[in-house]
């Protein structure tokens, strides 16, 4: 039976006698939701992807049947299509609730909840093809007469599930961390808009008997899908980001394109222009996202490799420090013993010492001292690196240390034909709070270097008071320091470049160790030189009293 004299639609849904808005509300929304449904499904074949695919499918089917109902005049076709509405409508809400649970909890829902959902759906399935659902047909209006279940249960169910969704979301939102909260917000705003508009427009359409209203509910689907796409783009991995951008652009083009195709009146120039522009912008957007994704992936790759290399390096560094520490300890004992024997021999403990023998013993002592100094530096370095270096601050006199050093270095200066002068202030300095052993090492390193890097002339060590600090200046007449070497002078293993330096034996550790030690005394150490060949001055100063560190 036919209920109208308008012509039957072609291909089941295409008719020229329906409002233009009808196609515009149905086709793009269906296309967008199916597209994103497929997209998410292929990205994520786990439960969440499948549920979303289900939602998109149900929605598309609903939308297609709605078009049939709108365009057809055959009462049987209309009745069959209409009889599915309630079921699809309920399914849409139930699947949405299911989706929200899986999204929020990251796992499938309990079978208890599934049973409740099944029970809620049961009356719908049972009564869908009865007079409770479709009571009859109104030939005048060309509409079915909806049964009691239609006018009551479906909307009750929709509202009930909607409130349920909101309640679960609020509950999970409270427990979520900051990042997840943002995701939840996006999801609920998108889904809430969709379900709410779908519910309200469906309810009003049914109760006011004005089915044109229903079409506005469909736009909510596009919004929901757009939110979902954004969710994926914003929070998921880079690769998905690219696909997300593609899906967004495709939806946009479909929306604008269908508006263009379905437009029956008015100027077409502007929409065509908008359509072309959206394709162009879409193209550039996708290209830039593609590039960004590529760059980020490359960066991630390199970062990963660097991390591995860094771990390896740290391991090697530890092994090296340990090796240095063990080797130095083993070297220090015999060198110390040797020093003892040399001084005993010189003191005549093993018989009379000829002047030739005495000279040889002095040379032995110089060499032994240098080796001991090197071992000390190595040991200090490994202690510094492992954080095990300890300072024993006590009040002592810096003059005593310098006098001791003057005795120690007198032979090596004499050996090289250099002078070694020590200048002290007229008034003796007050005692300084310091680790005497460490300050001795620093001064010894500086004097040793000054002698090492000088061929003629000599070295002057001057002690003075400056601004409530003790200052030691070691000046020499040696090879000097070119300005380009200055910045690296106090770095680990820094030895300079030119041959004159490298022919002198050394490790490049003395100054590094000295700087660390002086800084531990809240002091300062630096070098000055007028340039290569013009001698150098190494200066350090330490405060008379160490600042007290408040104890809590």
Residues at the contact surface with ligand ADP, assessed by CB under 6 A: 445, 449-450, 453, 476, 478-479, 481, 489, 494-496, 501, 506-512, 536
Q: Which is nearer to ligand ADP, 406 or 507 (CB)?
A: 507
**Region for 186 from its dihedrals, namely left if φ exceeds 0, alpha if ψ lies in -120 to 50, beta otherwise:** alpha
Q: Which is nearer to ligand ADP, 258 or 536 (CB)?
A: 536
Least gap, CB of 490 to ligand ADP (angstroms)? 7
Q: Which is nearer to ligand ADP, 192 or 510 (CB)?
A: 510
Tokens 């390096």 belong to 313
Q: Residues 422, 427, 429, 430: what is their CA dihedral angle, to the nearest 10 degrees?
A: 160
Q: How many CB atoms lie within 10 A of CB 220?
A: 22
Q: Which is nearer to ligand ADP, 426 or 499 (CB)?
A: 499
Q: Which is nearer to ligand ADP, 28 or 496 (CB)?
A: 496
Q: Which is nearer to ligand ADP, 271 or 508 (CB)?
A: 508
Least gap, CB of 377 to ligand ADP (angstroms)? 8
User: What is the number of H-type helices and E-type strands within the chain?
Assistant: 16, 9
Tokens 């000046």 belong to 475
Least gap, CB of 464 to ligand ADP (angstroms)? 19
What is the spatial distance between Cα 14 and Cα 5, in angstroms, rounded to a whole number? 16
What is the spatial distance between Cα 484 and Cα 497, in angstroms, rounded to a whole number? 10
Taking Cα atoms as reference points, which of 423, 400, 434, 507 lies closest to residue 472? Answer: 423
Least gap, CB of 487 to ligand ADP (angstroms)? 12
Angle, vertex CA 410, rays to CA 407 and CA 413, nearest 5: 155
Least gap, CB of 403 to ligand ADP (angstroms)? 21
Least gap, CB of 413 to ligand ADP (angstroms)? 14
Taking Cα atoms as reference points, which of 462, 463, 483 lies closest to residue 544? Answer: 463
Q: Which residues contact 45 (CB under 8 A, 6 or more apart)?
A: none
Q: Which is nearer to ligand ADP, 440 or 501 (CB)?
A: 501
Least gap, CB of 360 to ligand ADP (angstroms)? 25
CA 172 to chain CA centroid, nearest Å: 26
Least gap, CB of 529 to ligand ADP (angstroms)? 7
Q: Which residues contact 411 (CB under 8 A, 6 or more apart)?
A: 362, 363, 365, 366
Q: Which is nearer to ligand ADP, 218 or 447 (CB)?
A: 447
Q: Which is nearer to ligand ADP, 215 or 516 (CB)?
A: 516
Q: Going along 467-535, which residue ranges are E strands? A: 469-476, 524-529
Task: Name the closest residue to ligand ADP (Cβ).
Answer: 506
What is the spatial distance between Cα 269 and Cα 275, in angstroms, rounded to a whole number? 10
What is the spatial distance between Cα 463 and Cα 397, in angstroms, rounded to a whole number? 12
Least gap, CB of 327 to ligand ADP (angstroms)? 17
């Amino acid at each position: 039976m036919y209920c109208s004299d308008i012509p039957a639609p072609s291909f089941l849904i295409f008719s020229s006698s329906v409002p233009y808005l009808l196609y515009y509300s149905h086709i793009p929304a269906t296309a967008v939701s199916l597209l994103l449904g497929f997209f998410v499904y292929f990205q994520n074949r786990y439960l969440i992807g499948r549920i979303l695919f289900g939602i998109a499918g149900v929605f598309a089917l609903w939308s297609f049947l709605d078009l049939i109902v709108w365009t057809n005049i055959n009462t049987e076709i209309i009745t069959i299509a209409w009889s599915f509405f309630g079921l699809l409508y309920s399914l849409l809400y139930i699947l949405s609730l299911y989706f929200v649970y899986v999204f929020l909890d990251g796992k499938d829902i309990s079978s208890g909840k599934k049973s409740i959902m099944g029970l809620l759906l049961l009356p719908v399935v049972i009564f869908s093809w009865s007079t409770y659902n479709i009571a009859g047909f109104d030939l005048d209006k060309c509409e079915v007469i909806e049964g009691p279940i239609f006018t009551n249960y479906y909307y009750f169910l929709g509202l009930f599930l909607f409130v349920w969704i909101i309640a679960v979301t609020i509950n999970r939102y409270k427990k979520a961390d900051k990042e997840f909260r943002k995701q939840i917000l996006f999801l609920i705003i998108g889904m809430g808009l969709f379900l709410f508009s779908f519910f309200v427009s469906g309810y009003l359409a049914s109760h006011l008997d004005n089915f044109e209203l229903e079409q506005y509910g469909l736009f909510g689907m596009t919004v929901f899908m757009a939110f979902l796409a954004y969710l994926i783009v914003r929070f998921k991995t880079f690769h998905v980001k690219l696909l997300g951008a593609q899906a967004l652009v495709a939806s946009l083009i479909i929306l604008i394109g269908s508006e263009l195709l379905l437009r029956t009146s008015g100027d077409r120039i502007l929409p065509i222009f908008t359509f072309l522009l959206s394709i162009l912008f879409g193209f550039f957007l996708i290209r830039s996202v593609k590039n960004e994704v590529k760059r980020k992936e490359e960066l991630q790759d390199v970062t990963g490799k660097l991390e591995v290399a860094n771990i390896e390096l740290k391991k090697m560094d530890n092994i090296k420090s340990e090796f240095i520490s063990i080797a130095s300890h083993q070297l220090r004992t015999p060198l110390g013993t040797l020093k003892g024997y040399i001084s005993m021999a010189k003191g005549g403990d093993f018989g009379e010492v000829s002047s030739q023998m005495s000279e040889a013993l002095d040379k032995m002592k110089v060499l032994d001292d240098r080796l001991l100094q090197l071992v000390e530096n190595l040991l200090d370095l490994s202690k510094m690196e492992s954080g095990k270096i300890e300072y024993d601050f006590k009040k002592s006199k810096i003059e005593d240390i310098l006098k001791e050093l003057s005795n120690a270095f007198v032979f090596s200066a004499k050996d090289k034909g250099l002078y070694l002068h020590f200048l002290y202030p007229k008034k003796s300095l007050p005692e300084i709070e310091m680790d005497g052993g460490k300050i001795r090492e620093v001064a010894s390193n500086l004097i040793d270097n000054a002698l090492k890097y000088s061929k003629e002339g000599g070295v002057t060590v001057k002690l003075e008071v400056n601004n409530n600090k003790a200052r030691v200046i070691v000046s020499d007449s040696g090879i000097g320091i070119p300005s380009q070497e200055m910045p690296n002078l106090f770095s680990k293993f820094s030895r300079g470049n030119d041959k004159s330096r490298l022919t002198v034996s050394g490790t490049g550790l003395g100054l590094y160790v000295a700087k660390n030690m002086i800084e531990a005394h809240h002091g300062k150490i630096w070098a000055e030189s007028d340039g290569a060949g013009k001698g150098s001055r190494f200066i350090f100063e330490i405060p008379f009293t160490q600042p007290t560190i408040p104890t809590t």
